[in-house]
A and B are shown apart, each in its own frame.
Chain A
Amino acid sequence: MTPELGQLALILALLLALAQGILPLLGAWRGNHALMAVARPAAAGQAVFVAFAFGILTWAFLHFDFSVQYVADNSNLELPWYYRIAAVWGAHEGSLLLWILILNVWTVALAAFSQKLPEVFASRVLAVMGLIAVGFLAFTLFTSNPFGRLLPMPSNGADLNPVLQDPGMAFHPPVLYTGYVGFSVAFAFAIAGLLGGELEQAWVRWARPWTNVAWAFLTLGIVAGSWWAYAELGWGGWWFWDPVENASFMPWLVGLALIHAQAVTEKRGSLRAWTILLSIFAFSLSLLGTFLVRSGVLTSVHAFASDPRRGVFILAFLTIVVGGSLLLYALRAPRVAGGKPFQLLSRETALLIGNLMFAVAAAMVLLGTLFPLIGDALNLGRISVGPPYFGFLFPLLMLPVVLLMPFGPFLRWGKGESPLLKQVLLRAGIAAAACAIVAAFFVDGKLKAIAGVAALVWLGVGVLLYAYKRWRDVPPGRRYPAEMVGMLLAHLGVGVFVAGVLLTESLSVTSDVRMAPGQTQHIGSYDFRFDGAHRTTGPNWKADQGVITVTRDGKPVTVMHPQKRTYLRGQVQTESAVDAGIFRDLYVALGEPMDEGNIEGAWALRLYYKPFVRWIWGGGILMMLGGFTCAADQRFRVKRAVAVRADLVPQETRA
């Protein structure tokens, strides 16, 4: 009976979402306060019902209710309780429900924090959120009902995809979705801004903290996904340009452009149309990501749903939402290029170049991801272009960004000063060159590694120089507003990330070896001794587990236990063993026994020595912290609409 309650709750949520999406819009149009007042209670009610439905599904998983098709497909009696909770979003139907739940969390937060915004504007924003929810609730109810029954009820279920049985999986999708869905807020603000028209750029300031938080969550989600792939897929890679990764990466890139464009629009009034367009694109790409992953239009290891009905529904939904908003943009976007003028040498120009690069990179990724589809349309067959394409073009596009980044903060709005820039160029350039020369001796002259060190120093010194300039020029207390600290953190994160990527790529040592018990393999400066393999069991798997003792100059470092797991349904899954460190990871994956049936004998093993690989994720974490810190800036606390103007003045000097 309870699963039907869940379905009923979803239907009620859909009705409330309809009310939330339509009535406040009518109210804002006719000036009817009663209709506008519907927005908040409707949003709250919708959230309650969605949370209830989500709770019911979780309860069904925890109580092994295999009469529910989705539960029977994705869990079984042996699956431990924590993976049964993660299984709620382990496949298509449940992850949609999670999407909706997170959308509701954002909407409720928006309803709570938008009370000081003008009434008409706030009700429009909430209405747009409601309309998005209508689309997704309808999609769930009509094509992907998670509460569908299975009769007769099986005595045991299938299994959660073993690739997903990892602590990273419990954590990765919710965070990623929080980021994805968070862009709906910036989108709703932009649409409300377009509908209102008269508000001009005021909405941009209100949207900024939301965009920053969404982007920071997306960053964390991507970092978690990359780390999960590294730990779980068993061959030491951290990014594969897989369509699903690209689906999260495109909104990230556009979100990045949006964050910077919003800063220009808010402070200087320029780039207004561009900011609106980016707000629409960031969310559209989130929707597109859902479409690509869910429709099965592109085949991928991730695509767990393929059903043309779903594809058609999402396509129609996308056409209405994105096509509609782009049409609205065409009709209502600000006609006059407003804002204060700026010269060629100015912060606006630097940010524009960055924006251009991010947008082009996003388009490049989109093209590469859609290539199989385009190939189909042009009758060339389904082929993927893969990393040879992305790996060549992406660094090329990001090179100018990295080179220009240290100058950005030093440039003034409107008109920059070139002596100051020359000073920065000289100092950061000399520091980078000096460190690169020293590094060359440590890395045997490997160019990529040297470039990594130089990039880190270049960006790091740029950040430090600017921090020092603030310290020198600005009186205490006003030196480091949160917005600026966030910017510096994120830029430093880019340096750490670039260094991590380049150092790992050039200095990693990989070895595929056959090892008999007792044999030792020397990799990097470490000795890996294989101490044989044995059988072991977990709650729902059996595994062969190798024991590898690692020593360095005779001193013990660690003992590693890579596994080859066989899950109940016979799926085989490699569990690599990772010994993490700030400067290096040791990574061991168990291959096949040389002699089938004699697991005590020799094994094929893959041993990796991966220096600085943690820096890749460390850099991502710094970028994320930057996003959150920016959003926490006092300046973004909405006072009454009038009071907002008062602190516009200090920015002129701050810039």
Chain B
Amino acid sequence: MNRLLPFIGFMLLMGLFGFGIWWNTRNDPNAIPTPLLNKPAPAFNLPKLYEPTQMVSKADLLGQPYLLNVFASWCIECGVEHPVLEAAAPSLGVKLVGYNYKDAPADAKGWLAAHGNPYALLIADESGRTAIDFGVYGAPESFLIDAKGVIRYKHIGPITPDVLATKLKPAIAAMLKEAP
């Protein structure tokens, strides 16, 4: 029996891979609800990435809607969504706020210099503590927050052109229509 263990373990792994392939071809892996949906975003007070002495709080951002994009230089999927964000940022209709997650500031700046910087504002959460309040458990994640500071939509995983067109843009449009 003991000697069968490696075989069984491997077959379980293969099952996982098979599932992964099947899932990828069939499903949108990124649809999951958040308990914070339609609730006020948690309060935060974080330094700017480029001017670490200046702090940005939730109150500073009230008054206009924004898309909070959690990213990190070490996050591979962030490299996938980055060109999408870069192309979409001007026509998004809301401000794009970059939330640099668990990242050394130098790495983040280097990464942005290499890949481009689509963000209107960049805040840094080096320890990842505030991210816990947001329920972030990895990068990339994105939160659509309205002018009153309420989370209107959350997306886990990279924003692909498909996600942008079918999910994010409609969510933004619905939000803007409701509260001009």
Which A residues are within 8 Å of any B CB, using their own CB?
A: 233-237, 240-243, 273, 277, 280, 284, 291, 295, 297-301, 308, 311-312, 315, 318-319, 322-323, 326-327, 329-331, 333, 370, 372-377, 379-388, 510, 512, 574, 589, 591-592, 604, 606
The answer to whether the Cβ of B132 comes within 8 Å of any Cβ in the partner chain is no
Which A residues are CB-close (under 8 A) to B32? 379-381
**Distance of B79 from chain A, by nearest CB (Å):** 6
- On whether the beta carbons of A574 and B139 are closer than 8 Å, the reply is no
- On whether the beta carbons of A382 and B157 are closer than 8 Å, the reply is yes
The answer to whether the Cβ of B95 comes within 8 Å of any Cβ in the partner chain is no
**Distance of A530 from chain B, by nearest CB (Å):** 16
Chain B 3-22, CB within 8 Å of chain A: the 1/0 string? 11011001100101111110
- On whether the beta carbons of B109 and A241 are closer than 8 Å, the reply is no
Which A residues are CB-close (under 8 A) to B173? none
**Distance of A263 from chain B, by nearest CB (Å):** 22
Which A residues are CB-close (under 8 A) to B25? 308
Which A residues are CB-close (under 8 A) to B128? 388
- On whether the beta carbons of B21 and A606 are closer than 8 Å, the reply is no
- On whether the beta carbons of B76 and A333 are closer than 8 Å, the reply is no
Interface centre among A243, A318, A384, A510 (most CB of B within 10 A): A384
- On whether the beta carbons of A312 and B111 are closer than 8 Å, the reply is no
- On whether the beta carbons of A295 and B21 are closer than 8 Å, the reply is yes
The distance in angstroms between the C-alpha atoms of A234 and B106, with both chains bound, is 13
- On whether the beta carbons of A383 and B3 are closer than 8 Å, the reply is no
- On whether the beta carbons of B114 and A383 are closer than 8 Å, the reply is no
- On whether the beta carbons of B24 and A308 are closer than 8 Å, the reply is yes
The distance in angstroms between the C-alpha atoms of A379 and B6, with both chains bound, is 26
**Distance of A546 from chain B, by nearest CB (Å):** 14
Chain B contact patch, size range: 35 or more
Interface centre among B4, B106, B111 (most CB of A within 10 A): B106
Are A384 and B77 also in contact (CB < 8 A) when A330-B3, A373-B17, A377-B20 are? yes
**Given contact pairs A297-B20, A386-B139, A512-B109, a sample of 13 additional A-B residue pairs in the complex whose CB atoms are under 8 Å apart:** A299-B158, A315-B18, A315-B21, A319-B11, A319-B14, A329-B6, A330-B3, A333-B3, A380-B137, A382-B29, A383-B138, A383-B141, A512-B110
- On whether the beta carbons of A297 and B74 are closer than 8 Å, the reply is no
- On whether the beta carbons of B3 and A329 are closer than 8 Å, the reply is yes
- On whether the beta carbons of A326 and B10 are closer than 8 Å, the reply is yes
The answer to whether the Cβ of B102 comes within 8 Å of any Cβ in the partner chain is yes
The answer to whether the Cβ of B80 comes within 8 Å of any Cβ in the partner chain is yes
- On whether the beta carbons of A381 and B3 are closer than 8 Å, the reply is no
- On whether the beta carbons of B14 and A510 are closer than 8 Å, the reply is no
The answer to whether the Cβ of B43 comes within 8 Å of any Cβ in the partner chain is no
Partner of B110, one of A235, A273, A319, A327: A235
- On whether the beta carbons of B14 and A330 are closer than 8 Å, the reply is no
Which partner residue on chain A sits nearest B7 by CB separation? Answer: A326
- On whether the beta carbons of A606 and B113 are closer than 8 Å, the reply is yes
Which partner residue on chain B sits nearest A236 by CB separation? Answer: B110
Which partner residue on chain B sits nearest A511 by CB separation? Answer: B106
Which A residues are CB-close (under 8 A) to B75? 384, 386
Are A387 and B74 also in contact (CB < 8 A) when A326-B7, A382-B158 are? yes
8 A–B pairs (Cβ distance < 8 Å), ordered by A:
A240-B74, A277-B6, A315-B18, A315-B21, A326-B7, A381-B29, A381-B32, A383-B138
**Distance of B63 from chain A, by nearest CB (Å):** 30
List B residues 54-111 near A (Cβ within 8 Å).
Answer: 72, 74-77, 79-80, 102, 106-107, 109-111
Are A512 and B113 also in contact (CB < 8 A) when A241-B74, A388-B74 are? yes
**Distance of A566 from chain B, by nearest CB (Å):** 14
The answer to whether the Cβ of B144 comes within 8 Å of any Cβ in the partner chain is no
Are A386 and B72 also in contact (CB < 8 A) when A235-B114, A326-B7, A512-B109 are? yes
The distance in angstroms between the C-alpha atoms of A527 and B21, with both chains bound, is 53
Which partner residue on chain B sits nearest A573 by CB separation? Answer: B114
Interface centre among A234, A373, A375 (most CB of B within 10 A): A373
Q: Which 9 A-B pairs have the closest CB atoms?
A: A383-B138, A381-B156, A235-B110, A386-B74, A326-B7, A382-B157, A330-B3, A387-B74, A330-B4
The distance in angstroms between the C-alpha atoms of A295 and B20, with both chains bound, is 11
**Distance of B104 from chain A, by nearest CB (Å):** 9
- On whether the beta carbons of A329 and B7 are closer than 8 Å, the reply is yes
**Distance of A307 from chain B, by nearest CB (Å):** 10
The distance in angstroms between the C-alpha atoms of A318 and B128, with both chains bound, is 38
Are A384 and B138 also in contact (CB < 8 A) when A233-B114, A323-B11, A330-B7 are? yes
**Distance of A295 from chain B, by nearest CB (Å):** 7
**Distance of B105 from chain A, by nearest CB (Å):** 9
Which B residues are CB-close (under 8 A) to A277? 6
Are A235 and B74 also in contact (CB < 8 A) when A326-B10, A330-B6 are? no
Which B residues are CB-close (under 8 A) to A379? 32
The distance in angstroms between the C-alpha atoms of A331 and B1, with both chains bound, is 10
The distance in angstroms between the C-alpha atoms of A505 and B6, with both chains bound, is 38
Which B residues are CB-close (under 8 A) to A387? 74
Chain B 157-178, CB within 8 Å of chain A: the 1/0 string? 1100000000000000000000
**Distance of A18 from chain B, by nearest CB (Å):** 24
Which B residues are CB-close (under 8 A) to A381? 29-30, 32, 138, 141, 156-157
The distance in angstroms between the C-alpha atoms of A308 and B23, with both chains bound, is 11
- On whether the beta carbons of B21 and A374 are closer than 8 Å, the reply is no
Which A residues are CB-close (under 8 A) to B76? 242-243, 298-301, 384, 386
Partner of B107, one of A234, A235, A243, A380: A235
Which B residues are CB-close (under 8 A) to A384? 74-77, 138-139
- On whether the beta carbons of A323 and B16 are closer than 8 Å, the reply is no
Which A residues are CB-close (under 8 A) to B158? 299, 382
Which partner residue on chain B sits nearest A295 by CB separation? Answer: B21
The distance in angstroms between the C-alpha atoms of A640 and B7, with both chains bound, is 35
Partner of A385, one of B18, B19, B24, B138: B138
Which partner residue on chain B sits nearest A292 by CB separation? Answer: B17
The distance in angstroms between the C-alpha atoms of A315 and B10, with both chains bound, is 12
Which B residues are CB-close (under 8 A) to A312? 21
Which B residues are CB-close (under 8 A) to A318? 14, 17
Are A592 and B138 also in contact (CB < 8 A) when A380-B32, A382-B30, A382-B77 are? no
- On whether the beta carbons of B17 and A326 are closer than 8 Å, the reply is no
- On whether the beta carbons of A592 and B113 are closer than 8 Å, the reply is yes
Partner of A299, one of B21, B77, B156: B77
- On whether the beta carbons of A323 and B10 are closer than 8 Å, the reply is yes
Which partner residue on chain B sits nearest A591 by CB separation? Answer: B113
The distance in angstroms between the C-alpha atoms of A333 and B72, with both chains bound, is 46
**Distance of A497 from chain B, by nearest CB (Å):** 21
Which partner residue on chain B sits nearest A391 by CB separation? Answer: B74
The distance in angstroms between the C-alpha atoms of A312 and B18, with both chains bound, is 7
Which partner residue on chain B sits nearest A326 by CB separation? Answer: B7
Which B residues are CB-close (under 8 A) to A319? 11, 14
Which partner residue on chain A sits nearest B136 by CB separation? Answer: A383
Which partner residue on chain B sits nearest A242 by CB separation? Answer: B76
The distance in angstroms between the C-alpha atoms of A330 and B4, with both chains bound, is 5
Which partner residue on chain B sits nearest A590 by CB separation? Answer: B113
List B residues 141-165 near A (Cβ within 8 Å).
Answer: 141, 156-158
The distance in angstroms between the C-alpha atoms of A297 and B77, with both chains bound, is 12
**Distance of B129 from chain A, by nearest CB (Å):** 13
